[in-house]
Amino acid sequence: MPWGQIGEAIGLGFLGASLIIAIHTFISLRSSSFVVACSIGIGATVAGVLVINSDWGPYYPWALPALLSLGGERPEDWLTRLLFALLGGIVVAVIGAWEVTRRDTV
């Protein structure tokens, strides 16, 4: 078993999903209904299946984990995608945290 390759693919897929996790966490905290977060997630996942092979695939958050875990490209391609996912996840998480702290929780 190539445990190193399996671990690398799983790790890159998880790190690539950081932007999706931040977006869904923000939507879940912002909306009072879980239906909104579920419907956005399902719709974005379906759109990701359609977008993954297009020119917009490397910039679409729901396509990044698959593109990163599949590999097979130049190292600078997956590094750019990984940085986009990680930095985008950090930016969305900071904006989401700022937005949630401004809300009245009474």
| Proportion of the chain in helix, strand, coil states, percent, rounded to 5 | 80, 0, 20
Nearest to 84 by CA among 12, 16, 25: 16
Name, in order, each residue with C-beta under 8 angstroms of 22's C-beta and a sequence gap of 6 or more.
Answer: 88, 89, 90, 92, 93, 96
Q: Is 13 helix (H, G, I), strand (E, B) or coil?
A: helix
Whole-model pTM?
0.83
- The pLDDT, as a whole number, for residue 67 is 84
Rounded Cα–Cα distance for residues 70 and 13 (Å): 9
- The pLDDT, as a whole number, for residue 78 is 78
pLDDT in tens, 7-30: 988 888 899 899 999 999 999 888
What's the residue count for the chain? 106
